[in-house]
Amino acid sequence: MSKIDLKNNYLLIFFSIIPICIIVGPAISIINIFLLIISFLFYYKNKSFLHIFRTKVVIFLLIIYLYLLFNSVISIDYKMGLVRNLGFFRFLLLFFAINYLFFNNKKIDIAFNFWLLVSFIVMFDIFFEFFLGKNILGYSQSYTCESCPRIVSFFKDELIVGGYLNGFIFIVFGFLFSNFDQKKKDKQFYIFLFILIFFLCILITGERSNTVKFIFGILLFISINPFIKLKFKLISLLVVVLLFTLSYFSSDKIKLRYGGQLINLIDNKEKRELYFKENTYLNLYKSGIEVFKKYPVYGAGNKNYRVETCGYNNNPKYFCNTHPHQIYIEFLSEHGLVGSLLLLSVIFFLIFRNIKVMIKSKNLIQMGSFCFLLMNFLPILPSGSFFSDFNATLFWLNFSIFYASNPKTNIFSKLGD
């Protein structure tokens, strides 16, 4: 085996097992990304990095990194967010590594086939737990309220399996449609059937926010997919509505999670008033806005929402938690107007600047990652912390693939390296 083949195989293996490593735990996930980066750096050590840092996308990513370092300095407690802010550099290196992998490796389909297999296993486990109350490892459903079961799957006590699947499935959809043969009706049928089964799967997790995000993402993906005819796009929209309706009326669990609680609020004034007073997310939103009011320019600092709200401050509107659970309120409370505008402007610029290239090249893997990136920024919906290991890994993984999967946007293709 030649040196170049060995290099590509190492990179491909570490890239392929990312979904498994995330399931095992954050420590293993970080180690795997570290090994992926080390492999890239080792085999790129004799080449100059200077020309890479001159590319526009890398310059803007460096701006984000430098801002995060500045954010640590002005934080309430710089020690709280310092490791997280310093650690962001690994996503910049991950961006390099994935672009390099796509540029040099012609066997990238192996990774996506493995991601498809992992997705099937997790989906099976979700259905298994939904019907039997425990997943295949014996982890039990979590109840966020009486008669409100939530699927934990392989994540044991974390309600993140829906967000996990969303992080990979749009790339998988893009991969499947990239091999789409319009002449073979049976293959078309299986791809659409897989999408519908996945929709039902994400629905029964009980994760309302991730279900809404998936619906937005899949409708966007179908609408921009050039290989799906208009009539099928309209039929897909109708099928999504019908499947949700049938699921809602055929399952008491789904009905309670996706509408029953709301109906009870409409019918009962006392319950409605109590809901608006005690609802966790509403209290978190209000609390986050209060923190923003106190630190409107630069915010409390990355990962410092908890420091402000869980400390000795006597603001009755504060709600102690790790973060406000809404991406825009998180940005405002921890980064203020200056940081929020900078972060959002840079991220949106780097995403939207490639739309024309993506559409013209009909790159479906790029379209899949594009849909995932956008659905993270839907307003109002609750969300995990943007800079947490879990969410940041999924976001910057998709962002890296968004650039790497298209030769016209891959940084190494542009450099001719």
Alpha-carbon span 93 to 95, nearest angstrom = 5
Q: What is the DSSP string of 337-380?
A: HHHHHHHHHHHHHHHHTTHHHHHHHT-HHHHHHHHHHHHTT-SS
Residue 258, pLDDT score: 64
Question: Which residues make Cβ contacts (< 8 Å) with residue 359, sequence separation at least 6?
Answer: 224, 226
User: How many CB atoms are located within 10 Å of the residue 116 CB?
Assistant: 18
Tokens, residue 141: 């459903």
User: How many CB atoms are located within 10 Å of the residue 28 CB?
Assistant: 14
Residue 335, pLDDT score: 97
Given CA atoms 235, 241, 247, 253 in this order, what sign does their dihedral have? positive
Alpha-carbon span 371 to 210, nearest angstrom = 13
Radius of gyration of the chain (CA): 22
For residue 70, with 0-12 CB atoms within 10 Å meaning exposed, 13-18 middle and 19 or more buried, which class applies? middle
Contact 376, 217 (CB under 8 A): no
> Collapsing DSSP states into helix, strand and coil, what is residue 303?
coil
Residue 7, pLDDT score: 56
Contact 302, 336 (CB under 8 A): no
User: How many CB atoms are located within 10 Å of the residue 313 CB?
Assistant: 14
Q: Taking the CA of residue 345 as centre, how many other CA atoms within 13 Å lie in the half-sphere pointing to its CB?
A: 9
Residue 112, pLDDT score: 95
Alpha-carbon span 402 to 368, nearest angstrom = 8
Alpha-carbon span 29 to 32, nearest angstrom = 5
pLDDT tens per residue, the chain (417 residues)?
444 455 568 889 999 999 999 999 999 999 999 999 998 988 877 676 777 888 899 999 999 999 999 999 999 988 888 989 999 999 999 999 999 999 987 789 999 999 999 999 999 999 999 888 899 999 887 765 555 678 899 998 888 999 999 999 999 999 998 876 555 656 777 888 888 899 889 988 888 899 999 999 999 999 998 887 777 778 777 877 787 777 666 666 666 666 655 555 556 566 656 666 767 888 999 999 999 999 999 999 999 999 999 887 778 888 889 999 999 999 999 999 999 999 999 999 999 999 999 999 999 999 999 999 999 999 989 998 999 999 999 999 999 999 999 999 999 886 654
pTM for the predicted model, two decimal places = 0.91
Alpha-carbon span 8 to 39, nearest angstrom = 9
Alpha-carbon span 26 to 389, nearest angstrom = 7
CA dist 281 to 150, 198, 213, 217, Å? 17, 27, 17, 23
Residue 44, pLDDT score: 74
Alpha-carbon span 225 to 202, nearest angstrom = 22
Contact 286, 319 (CB under 8 A): yes
